[in-house]
Amino acid sequence: MATRTDDASYHSSVTDHPQLALAVIMAGVLIAAVDTTIVVLALPEIQRALHVALSSVIWVVIGYLLTITLLATQVGKLGDLFGRVRMYEAGFVVFVVGSALCALSWNEAAIIGFRVLQGVGGALVSANSGAVIADIFPPHRRGRAYGFNAVGWSLGAVLGIVLGGVIVTYVSWRWIFWINVPIGIVAVALATRVLHNEATSRHHRFDIGGMLTLGAGIFGLLWAVTQLATRPLDSHIVAFFVGGLVILGVFVLIELRHPEPMVNLRIFRIPTMTPSLLAATFQALGNYAVLFLVIMYLQGPRGLSALDASLLLVPGYLLGGVVGPFAGRLADRVGPVIPATVGLAVQVIALFVYAQLSNDVTLALVVVASIINGIGGSSFFPANNSAVMKAAPPEVFGIASGMLRTFSNIGMVFSFSVAILSAARSIPRGLAFAIFVGTTKLSGHLADVFTHGLHAAFYTSMVFIAIAALLSLSRGRGRRAADPEVEPATPAA
């Protein structure tokens, strides 16, 4: 693939209509984003309607996210082997089926199980969307494309907040899932018309051992971390954590010896790849921990409903959606280091503003901080995503996109535990968990103690974001990741 070429001479084998194809991909990202925020607002209603235990209701959210995290790299590899567009379209179908089944759920096991199925579809869509964009656009236009893709995520998050509150309040929690069905069907129809399945090789040696050990290893780590959020550290949690690390070590050994590894580890020798992936992890760890903590602050000490609390964060999402394409275009012009690093620095400022919250401060401060945070995040995402995909050779676009989603989601899952554990330093763990779910308010001395404890958590998140900024800045000491074919390591698929 040419690295710097006139748009007139560049032709994608995936589509004849690049802008329309980008709109279809944005729709897929939007649907996935809607389902991350829309469910949070419905947790109290789901708990009451299906008689779900408080310790289990969070798995309605975590089950979806955990599944995407576990499968993103594997399904990205499937996209490289059997066609990224084919896997992307299959993801829509699975997501729609999972949504319909979630709406029909009758008990705790059903809703959590069907959310896992939804997560399989979400993994197929999210892991392959970035790779399809890389297939459609030449390297010097991908930052702008990823910026528009970030708009889909921001708009989806806003729609989830607004629709979730309205639907749960005036209709039924089941319709937060039913609404995905017609949208998903239209998206599938558009995708099949606009996107073409690219030709793939007929002969593959599938790395079953690598797929299973990667999934088992990540599951062990994430299961331990999520359990730590709901109960004290014990031998069971330690066993899962250590076991996960051991299995990941076995995964590395398998990949080093397999003739066609699922993850060719030489990809990490590409100068910009490792810092970009790790920056995504630390940014997600700090950013989403803050999101959880702010919602807990608004629902606990300030006594807001889930809808009112989330609406205060809408301006940040909206402005972030506007900034994303411009940040992506800037990354195309000057490279990813400056916009990504500056975006992270802006997020550090937002965290400092959040750290000034108290129980009598005006709630306008939350809006200001969310706007600053939205601008920073929307500057980081398209630039960092573009850096990963520009660094990856074309034959591993799927695995690179999947790894980016995996690394980012690992940070998201860990951030949930960071938020709960940070809150639990000042109030009982079970009470912190109930505040997050939205079933308990705080007042008096407990509210003051809780808010004071949040300050330390915000400063901790500042450290995570600062680490991400240093990792992003470190890419400036290597070659600019704009020309994938000049990289020294070109992994074989």
Give the pLDDT means over successive 10-residue stretches in the chain (493 positions): 46 75 84 78 84 78 83 82 86 94 94 94 86 83 78 71 78 90 88 77 70 87 78 89 95 88 81 90 88 82 81 83 84 89 96 92 93 91 86 80 82 78 73 73 81 85 95 70 38 34
pLDDT at 11: 56
Write down the pTM of the prediction: 0.81
The pLDDT, as a whole number, for residue 486 is 33
Question: How far is 355 from 18, CA to CA, in rounded Å?
Answer: 43
Residue pair 3/128 in contact (Cβ under 8 Å)? The answer is: no
Contact assessment for residue 433 and residue 43, using Cβ atoms and an 8 Å cutoff: no
CA distances from 358 to 291, 441, 448, 455 (A): 16, 16, 8, 9
Residues 322, 15: Cα–Cα separation, whole Å:
26
Among 59, 54, 23, 436, CA closest to 194: 23
The answer to whether the beta carbons of residues 14 and 21 sit under 8 Å apart is: yes
pLDDT confidence of residue 3:
42
Task: Give the per-residue pLDDT at 471.
Answer: 94
pLDDT recorded at residue 12: 66
pLDDT given for residue 490 in this prediction: 36
Burial string for 313-331 (b: 16+ CB within 10 Å, else e) reads: bbbbbbbbbebbbebbbbb
Where do runs of H (alpha helix) occur along 229-313?
235-257, 273-299, 306-311
